[in-house]
């Protein structure tokens, strides 16, 4: 990126090229206006780009001082039928995605140069590509494989026979334990642990016997793993995260789970062992998924929802009780405890009515 940013026309052209023509945008206003960074509509100034993806925020867009705003055609027609005056609009079908790509263009990539810190400990039998970067106090164990342009951050740990694919970055303190694999262009944020033991214990006489966890974690390409997220290795067989999955912070994925390609998982979600999440799913924050079930491709789960059985049909599912004052909740909870009794009373009344009608 140029030191003083890019013009709106340059941004539009760059995004069209990067998406092979998938995101084509129309400019209204000054195409030569220079944009240096992105910002919220409320605080953006004349050198910044904002976006409008939710019609709820149209009033904010009307008063925004952003140099350029990206939005869809319907919002542009409703808000700026004669243009924005001195401001520029960028109209496209997917303004949020366009804004994300513009932010990438405007955000300088972190400096990367091949390097091996003297304090890093690299086993003699590990294979580290000459173009990789290994920062201070990183540990790479025997038989590990570090691909081209990989960045292993300070204090990271890569276990024996683990593998890190091309251009993947492990942020400081991330752990990729023995035998686990992550593909190309991945991002693993600080504190994440990939390949810890799954929660496997067998009961005997009131005690618990540990089951050795001998599987791996296999992660595909273009996967992002949030800070302090944990992905357990399989008990037997592997835990699998397919290509393009995006995970937020503090997520727990149990042993032998399978997460389908391009699924997104928000913070604090817990997925118990041997669950299968389909492709292109969206799991809201703090959703709880029980083990040994499956969720159909393309399913959306609301925040805080408990999924206790298999979902075979894609849809938008919600399973929490609406917020209310505590006193009202207590009254409703008391009624819920008697639902079975009330159901039986209704059945008896229906039977009596049916008998009367038959007579």
> pLDDT of 43-65, one tens digit each?
999 999 999 999 999 999 999 99
Whether 2 shows a pLDDT value over 60: the answer reads no
Whether 27 shows a pLDDT value over 90: the answer reads yes
Q: What average pLDDT is seen over the chain? A: 95
Question: What pLDDT is stored for residue 11 in this prediction?
Answer: 97
The reply to whether CATH 2.160.10.10 applies to domain 115-317 is yes
What percent of the chain stands above pLDDT 70?
99
Closest CA to 49 of 110, 6, 108: 6
Mean pLDDT value of segment 185-196: 98
Question: What pLDDT is stored for residue 359 in this prediction?
Answer: 61
Q: How far apart are CA 231 and CA 229, in angstroms?
A: 7
Mean pLDDT value of segment 62-82: 95
Mean pLDDT value of segment 68-85: 94
Question: What pLDDT is stored for residue 110 in this prediction?
Answer: 85
Whether 306 shows a pLDDT value over 60: the answer reads yes
Question: What pLDDT is stored for residue 151 in this prediction?
Answer: 98
Mean pLDDT value of segment 259-269: 98
Question: What pLDDT is stored for residue 1 in this prediction?
Answer: 55
Q: What is the DSSP string of 214-280?
A: ---EEE-SS-EE-TT-EEEPPSSS-EEE-TT-EE-SS-EE-TT-EE-TT-EE-TT-EE-TT-EE-TT
Q: How far apart are CA 272 and CA 260, in angstroms?
A: 15
Confidence at 3, pLDDT banded by 50, 70, 90: low
Listed range (1-15, 151-165, 205-219, 331-345) with the worst mean pLDDT: 1-15
Listed range (80-94, 154-168, 201-215, 343-357) with the worst mean pLDDT: 343-357
In the chain the first and final C-alpha atoms are separated, in Å, by: 86
The reply to whether CATH 3.40.1390.10 applies to domain 6-106 is yes
Q: How far apart are CA 62 and CA 84, in angstroms?
A: 9
Question: What pLDDT is stored for residue 322 in this prediction?
Answer: 83
Mean pLDDT value of segment 68-83: 95
Mean pLDDT value of segment 58-86: 94
Does the pTM surpass 0.85? The reply is: yes
Question: What pLDDT is stored for residue 320 in this prediction?
Answer: 84
Catalytically active residues, by annotation: 255
């Amino acid at each position: 990126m140029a030191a003083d940013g890019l013009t709106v026309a340059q941004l539009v052209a760059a995004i069209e090229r990067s998406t092979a023509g998938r995101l084509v945008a129309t400019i209204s206003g000054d195409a030569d206006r220079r944009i240096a960074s992105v910002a919220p509509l409320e605080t953006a100034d004349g050198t910044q780009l904002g976006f409008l993806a939710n019609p709820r925020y149209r009033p904010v867009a009307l008063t925004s001082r952003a140099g350029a705003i990206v939005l869809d055609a319907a919002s542009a027609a409703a808000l700026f039928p004669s243009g924005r005056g001195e401001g520029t609009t960028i109209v496209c079908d997917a303004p949020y995605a366009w804004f994300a790509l513009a932010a990438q263009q405007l955000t300088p990539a972190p400096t990367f140069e091949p390097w091996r810190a003297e304090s890093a400990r690299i086993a003699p039998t590990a294979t580290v590509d000459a173009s990789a970067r290994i920062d201070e106090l990183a540990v790479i164990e025997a038989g590990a494989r570090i691909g081209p342009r990989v960045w292993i951050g300070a204090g990271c740990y890569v276990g024996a026979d683990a593998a890190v694919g091309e251009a993947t970055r492990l942020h400081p303190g991330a752990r990729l334990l023995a035998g686990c694999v992550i593909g190309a262009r991945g991002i693993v944020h600080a504190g994440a642990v990939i390949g810890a033991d799954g929660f496997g214990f067998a009961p005997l006489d009131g005690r618990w016997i540990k089951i050795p966890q001998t599987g791996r974690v296999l992660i595909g390409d273009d996967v992002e793993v949030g800070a302090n997220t944990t992905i357990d290795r399989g008990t037997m067989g592997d835990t699998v995260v397919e290509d393009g999955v995006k995970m937020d912070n503090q997520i727990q994925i149990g042993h032998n789970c399978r997460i389908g390609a391009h699924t997104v998982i928000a913070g604090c979600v817990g997925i118990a062992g041997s669950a299968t999440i389909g492709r292109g799913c969206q799991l809201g924050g703090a959703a709880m998924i029980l083990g040994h079930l499956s969720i159909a491709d393309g399913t959306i789960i609301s925040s805080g929802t408990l999924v206790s059985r298999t979902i075979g049909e894609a849809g938008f599912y919600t399973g929490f009780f609406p917020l209310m004052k505590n006193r009202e909740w207590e009254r409703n909870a008391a009624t819920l405890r008697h639902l079975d009794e009330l159901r039986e009373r209704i059945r008896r009344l229906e039977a009596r009515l049916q008998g009367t009608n038959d007579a």
